[in-house]
């Protein structure tokens, strides 16, 4: 069974709307999109990368705003801060990748390295952060976090913004404006 299949199987065992279920499903989708980007060519590769970039941007923003404050209480401040730091670093690399030509060999090499760091980050969350959330929170709280996570994602930036990454406070302050700009940019570039 692939890692994406395992994440989907684990997610399916959790209640609908549970924050951990939502995040596991997104981790599986992220793995799938990395594979699709690597296997695609030309405009299709650019489209798959844009999907990956947008998913990572909203996913990381929502984790920082919704998950990390609770994770600080359940898994500890050091662990939560480490995940935020990893997301900050990922945001910088994602911004670099976004500026590159997807057909460039340097893009492929940087994408491979980036994929390894994103997967390692997801595995830390799945092995350390998520079990602590499930132990430290009741079902209603986990579903409430799931609802908030999806609400934040619907308003989160779809492009990397390294100056706000890693800081839930900066994400909350700059996110809505950045998201508005990003979504206009996305709409104009799809024409």
**Average of pLDDT values for 96-116?**
96
Residue-wise pLDDT tens digits, 1-38: 679 999 999 999 999 999 999 999 999 999 999 999 99
* Average pLDDT over all residues of the chain: 88
**Average of pLDDT values for 69-79?**
95
**Average of pLDDT values for 39-63?**
95
Contact 75, 128 (CB under 8 A): yes
Which two three-digit tokens encode residue 179?
A: 């998201």
Residue-wise pLDDT tens digits, 138-170: 999 999 999 999 999 998 887 776 655 555 655
């Amino acid at each position: 069974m692939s890692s994406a299949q395992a994440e989907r199987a684990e997610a399916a065992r959790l209640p609908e709307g549970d924050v951990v279920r939502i995040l596991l499903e997104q981790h599986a989708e992220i793995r799938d999109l990395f594979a699709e980007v690597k296997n695609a060519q030309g405009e299709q590769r650019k489209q798959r990368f844009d999907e990956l970039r947008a998913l990572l941007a909203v996913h990381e923003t929502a984790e920082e705003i919704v998950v990390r404050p609770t994770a600080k209480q359940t898994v500890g401040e050091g662990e939560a801060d480490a995940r935020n730091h990893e997301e900050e670093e990922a945001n910088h690399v994602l911004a670099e990748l976004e500026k590159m030509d997807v057909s460039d060999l340097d893009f492929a090499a940087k994408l491979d390295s980036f994929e390894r760091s994103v997967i390692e980050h997801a595995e830390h969350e799945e092995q350390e952060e998520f079990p602590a959330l499930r132990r430290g929170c009741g079902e209603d709280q986990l579903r409430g976090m799931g609802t908030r996570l999806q609400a934040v994602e619907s308003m989160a930036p779809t492009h990397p913004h390294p100056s706000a990454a890693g800081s839930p406070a900066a994400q909350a302050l700059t996110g809505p404006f950045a998201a508005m700009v990003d979504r206009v940019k996305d709409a104009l570039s799809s024409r």
